[in-house]
Amino acid sequence: MKVLDLIKKAKEAQNFSFSPYSKFPVGAILEMKDGNLIKGANIENASYPLSCCAERVALFSARMKGYKKEDIVSLTIVANCDNYCFPCGACRQVISELMPKEAKIYCVNKNGEYLKLSIDDLLPHAFSDGDLK
């Protein structure tokens, strides 16, 4: 799918954000090899640390629909910020485990401009399952 279409869908996902505390809605779209799109938005809580980022909501939702990492093509992240919306450190760790290494990550700014990144760009030298052996 074209990046501009993914950005449009990620903006639609942003409308599902529950972010009364930060007032910073984030939308995410996972593009799957079968053509499906899975949305995520940040879901906050009055107990602030329990909040969950848009990226993790989308990735966990994909798992619950039965998808595996190799089914994912790309992740697009949008927010109303001047800078590109980069995933936080916790999400980078989850992305590195739940997305295939060749997947693309599009970080979008409020003007709809984007950076195309790899998982290794975001989290080089990641801790992984192999390190647990």
Nearer to ligand THU, 38 or 91 (CB): 91
Nearer to ligand THU, 33 or 81 (CB): 81
> Measured between alpha carbons, how far apart are the two ends of the chain, in Å?
38
Q: How far is the CB of 3 from ligand THU (least distance, A)?
A: 17
Cα distance between residue 24 and residue 63, in whole Å: 25
Laid out side by side, the sheet with 114-117 consists of 37-41, 26-32, 72-79, 104-108, 114-117
Catalytic position from the list 12, 55, 70, 97: 55
The 10 Å CB-count burial string (b at 16+, else e) for 35-55 is eebbbbbbbbeeeeeeebbbb
Q: How far is the CB of 86 from ligand THU (least distance, A)?
A: 6
Q: How far is the CB of 133 from ligand THU (least distance, A)?
A: 31
Please say if 55 is a catalytic residue: yes
Contacts with ligand THU, residue ranges (CB under 6 A): 19, 22, 24, 26, 42, 44, 51, 53-55, 77, 85, 87-88, 91
Active site residues: 55
